[in-house]
Structure formats: C-alpha cells, structure tokens
Amino acid sequence: MLETNDSLNIIKVRNAAEPEFLQAVTEVAESVLPYIEKHPIYKNNKIFERIAEPERVIMFRVPWIDDKGEIQVNRGYRIQMNSAIGPYKGGLRFHPSVTLSVLKFLAFEQVFKNSLTGLPMGGGKGGSDFDPKGKSDNEVMRFCQSFMTELSRHIGANLDVPAGDIGVGKREIGYLFGQYKRLQNEFTGVLTGKSLEWGGSQIRPEATGYGLVYFVEEIFKTQGKQLLGKTVVISGSGNVAQFAAEKCIQQGAKVLTMSDSAGFIYDPEGIDLAKLAYIKNLKDNLRGRIKEYISEYPSAQYFDGEKPWGIKCDIALPNATQNELNGEDAKKLIANGCFCVAEGANMPCTPEAVHEFNSAKVFYAPGKAANAGGVAVSGLEMAQNSLRYNWTREKVDAKLKEIMHDIHSICVKYGTEEDGHVNYEKGANIGGFVKVADAMIAQGVV
C-alpha cells in the first residue's frame, strides 16, 4: 500500500489549497487504491497520480456591463480533466461559490461518472463565480456572451462539449450557443441541454432526476421493494430536484420536502404533480423563493435556514449542492428509519455522512452513479447531433433506463462485499476507474 499512498500524498501536497478537490480524490482513493495494489499495471503506470491531474486548466477574465452601465468583472474557468475515452464533457456552473477547487472536484467526479455511462465521453467542468440571482435577462445574456467569447477558443463538438449545472439552464445555454455560433460561424453540437427546436434531445431536462429515480428502483429490485407508498425527502428545487420529484410522484411515492439555499418546505400531505407545477413555475419563470409555497399551500410548513434531513422518511435524495448533508444529518435520517440515500447532486454527503450510511448498511448511491443519467442523455444528444436526427421521447427514455440499469450492474460487479451487501461507492469508483485507466495505458504516457 505504501507506493499507492505515496501517490495520494503527492496529490495532497500539490493541491493543498483545494479542499473540495482533495475530498473527492480521497473518497475515490479509499476504494481505488486497494484495487490498484492488486493490479500492479495501474501502479506501474502511475495512473492514480495522472488521473488526478487535469490535462488542462483554463482561467479567464469575464468583463461585462450591467444594466446601470457599470463594468463588472467575473472569473471564468474550464477544467479539461481527462480525454482518454472521449471529448471532455461536463457542465458549467454559475454560482458565487465557484472556485478552482470546486470545479476541479466536479471535473474529477465527471471522469468516473462519464465512464460509467458506457458512452465515449471524457470529463470536464467549468463555470464562473457570476451570480445569476437578481440579474436581469439582459445582464445574464451579456455575461454569457462575454464568457463564451473566451471559452469558444477552447471547446468544440469533437473537443469539449459543455452543458448546464447550477445556475445554468436552458436560458443560459441559449445565450451561450448563440454567441458560439456567431463567433465560429457554424451550427454544431458544441453544447448539450439545447432546446428541442435547435438541436436538443428529448428527456435531457428530465434526465438527471428521472435517472436518479430509475437507479433507486434498480436498488429496490435487488431487495424486492418498490417505490409505491414510500416517503421521500428531497433537497433543492432546481432542475434535478424537480424531475426527481416528478418521477417519484409518478411511481406512487410521497414527496414530503423541497428546499432552496434559504430553507425548506415540508408538506405532510405530499407534493403532488399540481403542487410541483407551482414550484417549477416559481423557480424557473418567477425566480422566486421556496418559502412562497406556504402562501399557496397553507397546510405546509416552512423552515427558515434549515435542511430537510430531520423529517422522517424512507428515502433521501440530496439534490442541491456539495456537502449539504453531514454526519449529524445522516444519524438523524438513520434514526428515523431512512434506508436509501441516492445523490442527485454531486458530493452532497460529507465523508462523515457516508461513513454513517455505510456502517448502518443504508443503501448509499453516490452521485457519480446515481446522477449519471443527465450526462448520459447529453451523450445521446451528441449522438443525435452527429446523426442530424432526433429520437423520440420514448426511445431516449428507454435508453436512459437501460444505461441506469447497466451502471447499477457495474456497481454490483465491483462493489459486492463478502457478506453480500453492495457498497455502491466502491463499485462506482472502481467500475468508473478501470475503463479510463485501461485507455490511458493504451495511449501511452501522455
């Protein structure tokens, strides 16, 4: 173990100022380094040290003019992490908490996630510390145009294909695509998450949330359980949370909570499809706060500044942001009988929380497996763009289900422990690693 641990120490020293990145790397190292010890080819090729170093990091100035005519300056990034199995692929995040460390953790996770989908996509991530909250449409457009003016030099349909993430939805993808097309003078599948009328795929908006629920159903199948009648606690109220809630409701589960960065709502009667439509409009069009829900549905309660993990449930789906569920939250969930936690967000559970879930044999599905449906359908969007063709909603949904089924099988293959319990974290990490590592070895020291 000595030499592989040396790799981790080198990575820790080299990235000492990047806590989120080191958290993600350490979590993967815990399952992958013992595997590497048993397969010296990966050790001899220094794969772990290489996979944790981005192929390229691009950082740039994003100047733009606000509605008052004042110049604003933000910082833009694109992390091109690994291209061993395909073009860099991964979302863009616009949020004031964006740092190099946050984007490197997301890009690192993306490499393993994209590998698990079985599609030919490398890993990348990008974004900016720009905060879309409170900005007018015109300000968002001017920001996106400036951001893309620099980013366009570094991306391309066969090189690097960004998409959305926190703060980047269909509005932003539209402005980014328009600027890329104007600068490059070509209509090409350089972004995914596009609208249906101009190259988007059916099911892409739904894919991360739906895929998450399909993954939970795969876990349940192994236990002879079904979603019908189960209670679900969800955090977030953005893209992933909305469509995870929608699929849970469609499958007969009862969704009790949704949240935003200010607090959460608890609806003991359950959020049904009509109430969810209210939330979608509130968040996507009115850009309001989740607390407004209780004015519309007074039987619900709002908890200011709190997270929903104290509400009794069978299933918890953290769908907002990283490190939003800690060890104490995990203990509360376990004490209340929660037996399945699946991550729609990237790294929402802290290492302490994951430790609690694993010790209690709670089914814990890490984001790189459970939320891979979004990037998987992005991969299908790329395929359709290359074909210059659009598949039906039914076809894309069927493919998404199949991909989530296959990811579950990979987790079972690499994560089944001696007592028969499936450690999904270990399975996803090793399963995602092997394909990328083998490709890196085949391509030489590059």
Binding site for ligand NAI (CB under 6 A): 164-167, 169, 208, 236-241, 259-261, 319-321, 324, 344-346, 371, 374
Please state, in angstroms and as integers, the Cα–Cα distance from residue 400 to each residue in 304, 308, 413, following that order: 36, 29, 20
Stretch touching ligand AKG by CB under 6 A, among 18-26, 40-48, 195-203, 374-382:
374-382
Phi-psi region for residue 435, left (φ > 0), alpha (ψ -120 to 50) or beta?
alpha
* Nearest alpha-carbon partner for 221 in 427, 429, 422: 422
Beta pairing, strands 160-163 & 88-94:
parallel
| Collapsed DSSP state (helix, strand, coil) of residue 136 | coil
Beta pairing, strands 263-266 & 123-128:
unpaired
Q: Compare residues 231 and 319 and give the one whose CB is closer to ligand AKG.
A: 319
Q: Quote the CA–CA distance of 164 and 125 in Å, as a whole number.
A: 10
Q: Which of 89, 113, 125, 247 is catalytic?
A: 125
**Which residues are bridge partners to 161 per DSSP?**
89
Q: Compare residues 33 and 342 and give the one whose CB is closer to ligand NAI.
A: 342
How far apart, in Å, do the first and last CA atoms of the chain sit? 25
In this structure, what token pair is assigned to residue 7?
A: 């790799």
x/- site string to ligand AKG, residues 112 to 151, per CB under 6 A?
-x--------------------------------------
**DSSP designation for 303:** E
Under the binding rule (CB under 6 A), the answer on residue 91 touching ligand AKG is yes
Q: How far is the CB of 34 from ligand NAI (least distance, A)?
A: 27
Neighbours of 123 (CB within 10 A): 31
Q: Out of 89, 95, 142, 254, which residue is the one contacting ligand AKG (CB under 6 A)?
A: 89
Question: Of ligand AKG, ligand NAI, none, which one sits near residue 192, judging by CB under 5 to 8 A according to partner kind?
Answer: ligand AKG
Name the residue with the smallest CB distance to ligand NAI: 238
In this structure, what token pair is assigned to residue 187?
A: 């209509």
Under the binding rule (CB under 6 A), the answer on residue 378 touching ligand AKG is yes
Under the binding rule (CB under 6 A), the answer on residue 255 touching ligand AKG is no
What residues from 166 to 195 belong to the interface with ligand AKG (CB under 6 A)? Answer: 192
Q: Residue 125 catalytic?
A: yes
Please state, in angstroms and as integers, the Cα–Cα distance from residue 288 to each residue in 177, 254, 263, 281, 284, following that order: 26, 24, 13, 9, 8
What residues from 308 to 347 belong to the interface with ligand AKG (CB under 6 A)? Answer: 346
**DSSP designation for 112:** H
Phi-psi region for residue 253, left (φ > 0), alpha (ψ -120 to 50) or beta?
beta
Contacts with ligand AKG by CB under 6 A: the residue count is 12
Stretch touching ligand AKG by CB under 6 A, among 89-97, 171-179, 355-363, 432-440:
89-97
Under the binding rule (CB under 6 A), the answer on residue 209 touching ligand AKG is no
332 CB-side CA count, 13 A: 14
Q: How far is the CB of 146 from ligand AKG (least distance, A)?
A: 21
Question: Of ligand AKG, ligand NAI, none, which one sits near residue 199, judging by CB under 5 to 8 A according to partner kind?
Answer: none
Q: Out of 18, 139, 160, 165, which residue is the one contacting ligand AKG (CB under 6 A)?
A: 165
Residues taking part in catalysis: 125
Q: Which residues bind ligand AKG (CB under 6 A)?
A: 89-91, 110, 113, 163, 165, 192, 346, 374-375, 378
